[in-house]
Amino acid sequence: MSGSTGETRDFKPVRIAVLTVSDTRTLETDTSGATLAERLQADGHHLADRRIVPDDAVTIGRTVQGWIEDESVDVVITTGGTGLTGRDVTVEAVTPLFDKTIDGFSVIFHQVSYQSVGLSTMQSRACAGLAGGTFVFCLPGSRGAVKDGWDEVIRHQLDSRYRPCNLVELMPRLSER
């Protein structure tokens, strides 16, 4: 990965909500959501909220929309529901909320994921976008995919010190007209 964390810039923590989409997981068994929560806090960010909802497009959409409208949430990260089965509806629930799609996220996520799982990465529809001034990232539900997504992609773009540029420095300008 090219880019670096510059010591001359101040770190600005962001407030991140984590949503696990699963019909079977509970807070005790949700290793993917727990991994995200642990990693983002270890990196200095604030866990704004953490929830688990079933694989239901209406419930997913309402939950994410609520966080988009909540001024105490800067970023939403979902885990689960990005696959190809009939119950995988996170992408369908969340992408209609996007004002803009961050196409490069999917490309980079798949490059990173390819190093871990090979061609199986093509079964994921990981995506990201901007909705109402809130960044939204949709990751697969596996713990490995969450680690790849956070450790290799998202954490760098949510680090205000990352150079040459990062998403945090765009936040004050997201509602420009």
2 inside domain = no
1 inside domain = no
Q: What is the mean pLDDT of the chain?
A: 95
In the chain, the number of structural domains is 1
For 131, the domain range is 11-170
31 inside domain = yes
pLDDT (0 to 100) of residue 7: 63
120 inside domain = yes
88 inside domain = yes
**What does DSSP say about strands 46-53 and 15-21: parallel, antiparallel, or unpaired?**
parallel
Q: What is the CATH number of the domain that holds 25?
A: 3.40.980.10
3 inside domain = no
Sequence-separated contacts (24+) of 63-71 with Cβ below 8 Å: 63/19, 64/19, 64/93, 64/94, 64/97, 64/131, 64/136, 65/97, 67/17, 67/19, 67/134, 68/97, 68/131, 68/132, 68/133, 68/134, 68/136, 69/132, 70/17
Give the angle 44-42-2 at the CA atoms, nearest 5°. Answer: 80
| pLDDT tens track for 65-95 | 999 999 999 999 999 999 999 999 999 999 9
The answer for residues whose C-beta is within 8 angstroms of residue 112's C-beta and 6 or more apart is 148, 149, 152, 153
| pLDDT tens track for 145-162 | 999 999 999 999 999 999
Whole-angstrom Cα distance, residue 130 to residue 75?
Answer: 9
141 inside domain = yes
pTM for this predicted structure:
0.95
pLDDT (0 to 100) of residue 13: 97
Segments in the chain below pLDDT 70: 1-2, 5-7
